[in-house]
Structure 1
């Protein structure tokens, strides 16, 4: 079996390459930036001819995305919707048998606390962030394409580990600045997913029943303040943790984003996505993944955190 891994230079993509290699898969990898990875072919999924990278591929693991709290609507559409549509069509034309999409549980977020959310839970009429909105559209496309090519998706919660460029790096950056705000007191519950657990779930989903999506986590929820305490103790950094009401934090983030866009500058230190993610509880029910795929989390947070400092 030959597998294509898109977004192969990212946290999940690299974990997939490692797991698939361990199990003897024949690999092809792609990303926009050249990398020393198996049978690597640099490509932009929005503009490149995708036929060469799909030639001879049996299974597509689609991890490439704009996974960010910051970006223009056009960037989110291109990276998360257009790229997925083009890859789906190219995979089908090439005769691929399976297509597995890395989606996001951000599409569950509605500004309230949501606990033990199952895959069939009601989704908000309007997503909290552009990222969630366009990943939701992409996921729908993937599941609707199920047919001769089996198409599935997973919704992994807060992937972290080596090569993570989002979750823990942002947290450590705030620690280095000397302050990690405790939005709503830091009581929001968050479950996380080590990159190896997420990669194994992707591989299991390739053999699952078609047209399905599964929640994936490492099986344990933490209050945000406890995650920060564990990470801070491991890093040795000193910082303050002032409490900020959720409504105030969202107002500050909205103002910061408005000013940043007006100035045409970089992502502000506080974004609405960060406030929504860290100030409201969101935990997932992974019963379906356990039942349908035989998924079992293997890496706890304290263990997974160690590789971030290796």
Structure 2
């Protein structure tokens, strides 16, 4: 079997390449910037000719996305919606048999505590971030695709591990250079997904039924403050927390984002997406992935976080 992995330079993409290669797949890879990976071709999926990437490909694993907490609606749309639409069209035209999307459980977030959320849970009328808005649109496109190509998706929660550039690095940077916002006392529950568990979920989803979507996590939830304590123990960094009520955190984040947009500046230290992620509990029910795909989490957080400091 021959696979194309998009976003192959990222945390999930690299883990997927490792697992596919170990199981004897012929793997092609792509990302925007050159990187030393098997069968690599640099490409911007929103504008490049995609036909050369898809020649002879049986399965597309679409991991590429703009996953930042910061950006404009146009930037998120181009990277997460337009790029997905172009890749779907090109894959279908090339006779690809399977298309698997790495979606996002951010689409569940509504600013309240949501525990053990299943795939058919109601989604908020208005997504809480531009990222969630764009991933929801991309997922809808993929799962609604008719034709010979079978399309599926996973919703992996908070992927971390080696090559992570989003989750743990942000926490560690705040611990090193300032005070870590502890919204609602850090009581929010978060379940995470080690990169190898997420990659395994992607591969299993490639054999799932058309239109299937599955939550993927590593099967354990932590309070945010407990995660921070584990990271502090592993890194040797002190924890200097800044207690913030949820309402004040949202106000500060909104004001910071508004000021940053007016100035055309970089991402502020506190964003609305960060408040949504760290201020409210969100845990996922993975019983459907266990039942339909035979998915079993294999990497706990204590073990998984160790590789980040090895």
> What TM-score does the superposition give when structure 2 sets the normalisation length?
0.99
Map of 1:27-176 to 2, 5 A cutoff?
A: 27-176=27-176
Q: Post-superposition, which runs of at least 4 consecutive aligned residues in structure 1 deviate over 4 A? A: none
| d(CA) in 1 for partners of 2:272, 2:306 | 29
Q: Which is further off, 242-251 or 77-86?
A: 242-251
| d(CA) in 2 for partners of 1:302, 1:178 | 25
Q: Secondary structure at the match of 1:148?
A: coil
* 2:195 is aligned with 1:178: no
| d(CA) in 1 for partners of 2:146, 2:216 | 21
| d(CA) in 2 for partners of 1:147, 1:212 | 15
Q: Which residue of 2 aligns with 1:5?
A: 5
Q: Secondary structure at the match of 1:34?
A: coil
- The Cα shift of 1:146 comes to 4.3
User: What's the C-alpha RMSD, in Å, of the aligned pairs?
Assistant: 0.7
* 2:274 is aligned with 1:274: yes
- The Cα shift of 1:177 comes to 1.4
| d(CA) in 1 for partners of 2:146, 2:168 | 35
Aligned residues: 310
| d(CA) in 2 for partners of 1:242, 1:256 | 16
| d(CA) in 2 for partners of 1:29, 1:138 | 20
- The Cα shift of 1:147 comes to 3.6
Task: Tell me if the contact between 1:146 and 1:211 (Cα under 8 Å) persists in the aligned partners.
Answer: no
| d(CA) in 2 for partners of 1:119, 1:150 | 19
> What TM-score does the superposition give when structure 1 sets the normalisation length?
0.99
Q: Which residue of 2 aligns with 1:231?
A: 231
| d(CA) in 1 for partners of 2:201, 2:300 | 15
Q: Which residue of 2 aligns with 1:199?
A: 199
Task: Tell me if the contact between 2:229 and 2:239 (Cα under 8 Å) persists in the aligned partners.
Answer: no
Q: Secondary structure at the match of 1:181?
A: strand
Deviations along 1:42-84, whole A, 9 cap, x unmatched? 1110110000000100000000000011001110000000000
| d(CA) in 2 for partners of 1:241, 1:278 | 13
Deviations along 1:71-111, whole A, 9 cap, x unmatched? 01110000000000000000000000000000000000001
Task: Tell me if the contact between 1:179 and 1:241 (Cα under 8 Å) persists in the aligned partners.
Answer: yes
Gaps of 5+ in 1: none
Q: Secondary structure at the match of 2:165?
A: coil
- The Cα shift of 1:22 comes to 0.6
- The Cα shift of 1:178 comes to 3.4
- The Cα shift of 1:242 comes to 2.7
| d(CA) in 1 for partners of 2:166, 2:182 | 18
